[in-house]
Amino acid sequence: MSSNSTIRIGNDDLYFDIGPNQKPFIIAELSGNHGQNLALAKKMIEEAAKAGAHAIKLQTYTAESMTLDVDSPDFVINESDSLWAGEKLFNLYVKAATPYEWHSELFSLANRLGMLAFSSPFDEDAVNFLAQLDVPCYKIASFELTDIPLIKKAAAQGKPLIMSTGMASISEIEDALKAARGEGCADIILLKCTSTYPALPKNTNLVTIPNMRTAFNCQVGLSDHTTGIGVSVASVVYGASVIEKHFVLSRDDGGVDAAFSLEPSELAQLVIETERVSQAIGTVTYGGSRDEEKSKQYRRSIYICKYIEAGETITAAHVKIVRPAHGLAPKHLGAVVGSVASVSMPKGTPLSWTNINSVH
């Protein structure tokens, strides 16, 4: 499917069209910020809906499906600047996982509030589980983009596929697309992503978005791990049709991803500002918009600023360039000075060619 084609995600009762001439599709990623508190997860979904998000996304995995429960240094996060430095991978995933038994209830809640709900599966069993819930699409996380069997499994479900591309080379993206398309999946959205947590704006390289759209003939969006909304808003200018941001009720309350997650008021601003930017891009236009026509009357023009009798020569003292624009355009001042008034004109008369005569 062409990068200019609209992709519909959802069903007849609830759907969103994504693509050119559509407002950006905003996904609130709950990740593990619910702290495995079901009531908190529900509250997050309610607040995301109030903020205007179009979808919520979960992550579907267990610690056992993500990694091995071993004490080897390979399975410990050793980057000193990581939010999770020193954390054993297995223990981190135990804390961050969304229980499978929550999914149906959370998805239903989101749907009742007018949002789509889907998830990132991290293994083939998770795809099977989500298929039973009839999710509207599947999301492949950046770290799983090289898991070709997983991509094939998700792509074969007959639903749109969203794939994050953090860290991925051109050839790795090509491999993922080939795998998905080989399973008959035509509705694919790639997300530009920087896989650091939080990500720095200087590493985001938004100019890659239009290049990706051309290179891979796909719609392209942004999975944004920077703090704040500035980078996401800017991405719309480069053609991002989807924006995914992690979400939390309050960063002060913590959560595994809280440091780079948006709070409800920020998510609301993201929805508003990305839609404004989308509307503002428009087309190459000169001469003003239709709505600007009324404003043209407040340009400047030539007016009489000192009473003059009919037959009197107009001098510079008789005229002035002022607002509004009901008189002759300022460019005609040289022709006006030295001409003869054909009628008497009080101060405030807009000059026109009919009330002056050329120089004798």
Which of 270, 213, 257 shows the shortest CA–CA distance to 33? 257
**Residue 68 forms part of a structural domain:** no
149: containing domain: 7-61+97-281
Determine contact, residues 137/160, Cβ cutoff 8 Å.
Answer: yes
Q: Are residues 211 and 267 in the same domain?
A: yes
Determine contact, residues 189/219, Cβ cutoff 8 Å.
Answer: yes
Which of 87, 136, 133, 107 shows the shortest CA–CA distance to 30? 107
pLDDT in tens, 83-141: 778 889 999 899 889 999 999 999 999 999 999 999 999 999 999 999 999 999 999 99
pTM of this structure: 0.89
Q: Are residues 210 and 341 in the same domain?
A: no
Determine contact, residues 284/277, Cβ cutoff 8 Å.
Answer: no
Higher pLDDT, 2 or 288: 288
Q: Are residues 301 and 268 in the same domain?
A: no
**Residue 314 forms part of a structural domain:** yes
Which of 28, 23, 59 shows the shortest CA–CA distance to 224? 28
> How far is the first Cα of the chain from the last one, in angstroms, to the nearest whole number?
73
**Domain's final residue, options 218, 252, 281:** 281
Using DSSP, state whether 345 is helix, strand or coil.
strand
pLDDT of res. 87 = 86
Cα(136)–Cα(162) distance, integer angstroms: 11
pLDDT for 81 beyond 80: no
**Residue 72 forms part of a structural domain:** no
Cα(183)–Cα(219) distance, integer angstroms: 19
CATH number at residue 236: 3.20.20.70
Cα(41)–Cα(44) distance, integer angstroms: 5
Q: Are residues 337 and 213 in the same domain?
A: no
In the chain, pLDDT over 70 holds for what percent of residues?
99
**Domain's final residue, options 281, 307, 339:** 281
- Number of helical H runs and strand E runs in the chain: 11, 14
**Residue 71 forms part of a structural domain:** no
**Residue 302 forms part of a structural domain:** yes
Determine contact, residues 336/356, Cβ cutoff 8 Å.
Answer: yes
pLDDT mean over 63-74: 94
pLDDT of res. 359 = 61
Which of 177, 170, 61 shows the shortest CA–CA distance to 119? 61
Q: Are residues 307 and 177 in the same domain?
A: no
**Domain's final residue, options 250, 281, 312:** 281
Position of tokens 């051309």?
A: 214
Chain-centroid distance, C-alpha 271: 8
DSSP class of 239: T
The confidence band for 360, taking pLDDT boundaries of 50, 70 and 90, is very low
Q: Are residues 223 and 321 in the same domain?
A: no
CATH number at residue 322: 3.90.1210.10
Q: Whole-number mean pLDDT of the chain?
A: 95
**Residue 82 forms part of a structural domain:** no
Cα(59)–Cα(164) distance, integer angstroms: 14
